[in-house]
Structure 1
Amino acid sequence: MNAATSDKPRAADLSMLLAAPHRAMFLIGALALLANMIWWTGVLSAAWFGLPFAPQPMPSAWAHGFLMQYATLSPFVFGFLLTVFPRWLNLRDIPKPVYAAVFSLVLGGGLLVLGAHSGMPRLLPFGFAAMLAGWLVAMTVLGQRLLQNHGKDRWAVSAYAALAFGAAGLVLALAFACGAPARWMQASISMGTFGLLVPVYFTVAHRMVPFFSSNVVPGYRVVRPLGSLAGVWLLTLAHLAFDLCDASAWRWIADVPLACLLLWQWLAWQPWKARRPGLLSVLYVALAWLPLSFALFAADSIALAWHGSSGWARAPLHALTIGFFASMLVAMVTRVTHGHSGRPLAMGAIPWIAFIGMQATAVVRVLADATRHPWPWYLAAAALWLLVLAPWVVRAAWIYLTPRKDGKPG
């Protein structure tokens, strides 16, 4: 009986991690989804109950933002781009030693940063430096392929530009760890959100969501104009500029048109046609959070301009990071994981629990800021995150450590 037809359970094998770029990088991200949130739940619990906690080399909220963006979501970005970038450009695959180096440096750096916030603060600059080194290795090999393609693929150029903003954010973080002003670290976190993640997520969605839809939806009309991609870039960078200049009361100038543009693009992708299969519909549900989050950012900015204060706290940010980033992560990574492991392109019970749980987590965290006593809700959102993602992470980790079900390489 061959590998494609055998139903016998397979033993996990660490060597399988390097069989394809996405395996190792997705494993880092999946484990970090739990590890970094366990740490953050501990921080929240200690603050609420007045318990002692390990010394922090920077405010815990900053560390949370950095860890979730650069050490948790970014490995998934690298796993995806190191796999699909050569295919987008019709060039040779990334060599194993290269993505192995990226895996080792990003993993090691993330562990050092987490260790720095768990009682060993002197590890912080070494963690930032290792992550930056891994980032630059990945950018070098991807950049070489972009040059070979002469920059003809607009989505590849856009994704690479987002990685450049991420590298700049890591440089700022490393400078802060070496003595630069605190504002540099704040800028690093903002750059991770609005220079790296929003553009790269939207770029991938702009290319892949219409492609997936047209493959399974009869009569689907592909709409992915260059203007919407450029517009999202321009307005997101304007949002970032207002943030960096401490001009949040004027941020609505970017956020109102950005919310409208994102809503138009979502509707242009015809979500009403994508109710089935589930693996497609979840992409559209996740995408709905994107215009909603920037509408909340706009409302927050208008409130600041009108009243001088806002009661939204960090609700818009968590609508973006949990509602959009985390939901789209579960949806897209489930698709890639199943497709690249020889499994059916279907959600399944565990991915559905993770995805629906992310919707609930986002709602709880967003509404928490509207309550008089938000701390119990902060903890509830963190606990719900761990509860619904733990089975998904365990299942994904097993897939990354075992051979493809169809017996193919990779």
Structure 2
Amino acid sequence: MRDSRFPSRPEALAQLPALLAAAPHRLLFLAGALAVLTSMTWWTLQLASLRYGWAHWPQPPVPPGWGHALLTVYGMLPLFMFGFLLTVFPRWLDRPALPRRRYVPVASAVFGGYLLAHAGLLGSLALLRAGVLLIGAGYAMALVTLAQVLHASTARQQHAWSCLAGVAVGGAGLAAGLAALFGAPPAAMTLALRLGVFGFLLPVYFSVCHRMIPFFSGNAIAGYRPWRPRWSLPLAWALLTAHVALELAGADAWRWLADAPLALLFGAHALAWQPWRARRPGLLLALHLAFAWLPLAFALYAWQSAWLLASGRMVLGLAPLHVLTIGYFGSMLVAMVTRVTQGHSGRALQMGTLPWVCFALLQGVVVLRVRAELGPDGYRWLVLAAAGWLIAFAPWVLRSAWIYLTPRVDGKPG
């Protein structure tokens, strides 16, 4: 007898739009999963065309690094972030779940704009501009929705305020990137990317970790005392602001004044959260392992800056940035999204084989990307790192997409 939880194929196709719109994370996580492969497929082919001289590969209408960074920072990763925030904000703030009309337009605008902008990277500046404009419209809707949830709540929750501030900075950074696409000086794109990484992605990621890692650890470890100091989020914001200000001022040799304290701050959290007690379950261990990349990234940033001050030479190149983006952002993406996906689909809170394979391979991608900065023939290693990302993520994306496209296994709504 057919399991009534899983409709026949015609029924499933007819019900698919409603199923995808049943919860913010379904639609936006699916879009993010597809974006993970879209971003790196284009980037792998673009890098290969530069390394191997593919004369007929269509070149982007802007510097390739701009296209890669802008759409990764403001398109790919935020799809997951908006899926998470639009799901948890009402829960954090004791408000009812958001209706579909508040999150479906966000998903449609951000993902639709992301795809349009990627089409523009194949040679059309008009499509690239239109896509980024549409992404910006999605940001505006998300920001208004999150702000209204926070305004309606009597609980002035620190993590919600920090995440909302990050999204607001992200909107400003995206506007700066859009200005660069319409002819503003290149400094506008530099501002966009600095704000995107250090004023948007990192504060939101850290705010979520600050709340959720101690919470998950306390649920899984007997006798665990969550450590979640209220002073650390404002301090992180202040130091990250200093990091961006020093970079924009061209004072990279003095950036260690912000980066060394950031390394100590994040390292203190990593140790206080006691990862050695988090070996089971695997989902919890993955969260702690992913977070460990964050203090390491800023230790590298601090060393790079101090070395520049002492010797006048910039070493490590973009290695610290990619330890941060691939190591921390990428690994935490796999760990946190897998955790939410398992729980919100009625499945056991286990990491599973495919997520572990993705997570493990991603650690190797970090090594490949750092090698590209530190030795000869960097473009060859860039191609290998980009292809490695695709190999790592493809099975995880397929598994995740299947979950988002099918009903919960426990028969519950959502």
Same fold flag (TM > 0.5): yes
Which of 191, 198, 204 is the aligned partner of 1:194? 198
Name the residue aligned to 1:396: 400
Residue by residue over 1:230-271, the C-alpha shift from the partner in whole angstroms, topping out at 9 and shown as x without a partner, is: 111111111111122222111111000110111011101111
Residue by residue over 1:199-238, the C-alpha shift from the partner in whole angstroms, topping out at 9 and shown as x without a partner, is: 0000000000000000010111110101111111111111
Checking the alignment, whether the CA contact within 8 Å between 1:172 and 1:188 is kept in structure 2 is yes
Q: Does 1:309 find its partner at 2:316?
A: no
Name the residue aligned to 1:214: 218
Whole-Å Cα distance in 2 between the matches of residues 5 and 193 of structure 1?
42
Which of 220, 223, 228 is the aligned partner of 2:232? 228
Q: Does 1:18 find its partner at 2:26?
A: no
Name the residue aligned to 1:111: 115
Checking the alignment, whether the CA contact within 8 Å between 1:350 and 1:391 is kept in structure 2 is yes
- How do residues 146-157 of structure 1 correspond to structure 2 at under 5 angstroms? 146-149=150-153, 152-157=156-161
Residue by residue over 1:51-70, the C-alpha shift from the partner in whole angstroms, topping out at 9 and shown as x without a partner, is: 23323222111111111111
Runs (5+) with no aligned partner, structure 1: none
- Distance change in 2, residues 1:297/1:281 (3 Å): same
Whole-Å Cα distance in 2 between the matches of residues 385 and 195 of structure 1?
25
Identity over aligned pairs, percent: 49
Residue by residue over 1:84-138, the C-alpha shift from the partner in whole angstroms, topping out at 9 and shown as x without a partner, is: 0000000011110121100111011101211111122211221111111111111
What's the C-alpha RMSD, in Å, of the aligned pairs?
1.8
Runs (5+) with no aligned partner, structure 2: none
Taking structure 1 as the reference length, what is the TM-score of the superposition? Answer: 0.96
Name the residue aligned to 1:48: 51
Secondary structure, counterpart of 1:152 in structure 2: coil
Which of 325, 329, 338 is the aligned partner of 1:325? 329
Residue range with higher mean Cα deviation, 44-53 or 7-16: 7-16
Residue range with higher mean Cα deviation, 61-70 or 331-340: 61-70
Checking the alignment, whether the CA contact within 8 Å between 1:3 and 1:405 is kept in structure 2 is no
Which of 133, 140, 145 is the aligned partner of 1:141? 145
Could you tell me which amino acid in structure 1 is paired with residue 32 of structure 2? G
Taking structure 2 as the reference length, what is the TM-score of the superposition? Answer: 0.95
Q: Does 1:170 find its partner at 2:174?
A: yes
- How do residues 352-371 of structure 1 correspond to structure 2 at under 5 angstroms? 352-371=356-375
How far off its partner does 1:163 sit? 0.3
Residue range with higher mean Cα deviation, 370-379 or 358-367: 370-379
Residue by residue over 1:289-338, the C-alpha shift from the partner in whole angstroms, topping out at 9 and shown as x without a partner, is: 00000001111111222222223111000000000000000000000011
Name the residue aligned to 1:86: 90
Whole-Å Cα distance in 1 between the matches of residues 6 and 144 of structure 2?
40
Q: Does 1:63 find its partner at 2:67?
A: yes
Name the residue aligned to 1:266: 270
Name the residue aligned to 1:342: 346
Could you tell me which amino acid in structure 1 is paired with residue 198 of structure 2? F
Whole-Å Cα distance in 2 between the matches of residues 238 and 105 of structure 1?
32
Could you tell me which amino acid in structure 2 is paired with residue 406 of structure 1? D
Whole-Å Cα distance in 1 between the matches of residues 70 and 43 of structure 2?
12
Could you tell me which amino acid in structure 1 is paired with residue 176 of structure 2? L
Secondary structure, counterpart of 1:57 in structure 2: coil
Whole-Å Cα distance in 1 between the matches of residues 12 and 365 of structure 2?
34
Residue by residue over 1:265-286, the C-alpha shift from the partner in whole angstroms, topping out at 9 and shown as x without a partner, is: 1101111111111000000000
Could you tell me which amino acid in structure 2 is paired with residue 307 of structure 1? S
Whole-Å Cα distance in 2 between the matches of residues 242 and 85 of structure 1?
33
Could you tell me which amino acid in structure 1 is paired with residue 42 of structure 2? W
Whole-Å Cα distance in 1 between the matches of residues 177 and 336 of structure 2?
29
Whole-Å Cα distance in 2 between the matches of residues 55 and 363 of structure 1?
28
Between the two proteins, the alignment pairs up a number of residues equal to 410
Could you tell me which amino acid in structure 2 is paired with residue 48 of structure 1? R
Name the residue aligned to 1:100: 104
